[in-house]
């Protein structure tokens, strides 16, 4: 299946862009305007990282928050490359309109053509947000003691499969 995805990417993106896809994840900045119409059907899921800074953090706290968000994104970007596009992070969120701002961004990503929007954060304060416009909200912080990364991977895989295939359906993929 991975080989078929990479072959499709070579066909649609050309050798140069396909090399980027096969080596890593697809970021918004790697998709060129003239290519988008021919590949957008393959990228149905937008990943929206949210750092959740308030503006009063010290520089080392910002660095730590960004590193934790990067690590959290790895759980979704790497296994689902070829189907997801990672958008720029929303870094600063205030208490008054943070939830609304994230919901608005999710809605607009869907209006732009994405079927699904997955919000990813490592900030525990954001784990309880009510994001009606997001299809999934993942709070992932692997720096917490006692966290098993394999449990994260399994839970993410289950939730993403339920999102993409519906929770009441079972698909068996054979060659």
Alpha helices in the chain (DSSP H): 2-23, 33-39, 59-77, 98-111, 149-165
Q: Any idea which residue has 């205030």 for tokens?
A: 94
2-56 tens-digit pLDDT: 443 443 333 334 444 444 444 456 777 777 888 888 888 888 999 999 999 999 9
Rounded distance, CA 26 to CA 92, Å?
23
Does the structure show a pLDDT above 80 at 75?
yes
Architecture per CATH, domain 43-165, reads as: 3-Layer(aba) Sandwich (3.40)
Q: Indicate the pTM of the whole model.
A: 0.78
Sign of CA dihedral 128, 53, 115, 172: negative
92-107 tens-digit pLDDT: 998 778 899 999 999 9
Rounded distance, CA 17 to CA 23, Å?
10
145-155 tens-digit pLDDT: 566 778 778 88
Predicted confidence at residue 152, as pLDDT, reads 77
∠ CA 12-26-99, nearest 5°, is 130
Each domain of the chain, given as residue ranges in start order, spans 43-165
């Amino acid at each position: 299946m991975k080989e078929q995805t990479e072959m499709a990417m070579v066909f649609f993106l050309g050798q140069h862009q396909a090399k980027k896809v096969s080596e890593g994840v697809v970021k918004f900045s790697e998709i060129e305007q003239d290519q988008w119409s021919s590949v957008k059907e393959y990228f149905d899921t937008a990943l929206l990282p949210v750092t959740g800074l308030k503006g009063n953090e010290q520089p080392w706290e910002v660095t730590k928050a960004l590193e934790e968000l990067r690590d959290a994104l790895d759980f979704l970007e790497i296994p689902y490359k070829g189907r997801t596009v990672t958008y720029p992070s929303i870094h600063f969120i205030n208490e008054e309109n943070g939830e609304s701002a994230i919901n608005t961004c999710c809605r607009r990503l869907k209006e732009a053509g994405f079927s699904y929007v997955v919000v990813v954060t490592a900030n525990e304060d954001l784990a309880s947000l009510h994001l009606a416009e997001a299809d999934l909200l993942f709070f992932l912080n692997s720096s917490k003691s006692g966290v098993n990364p394999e449990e994260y991977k399994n839970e993410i895989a289950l939730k993403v499969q339920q999102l993409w295939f519906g929770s009441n359906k079972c698909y068996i993929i054979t060659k």
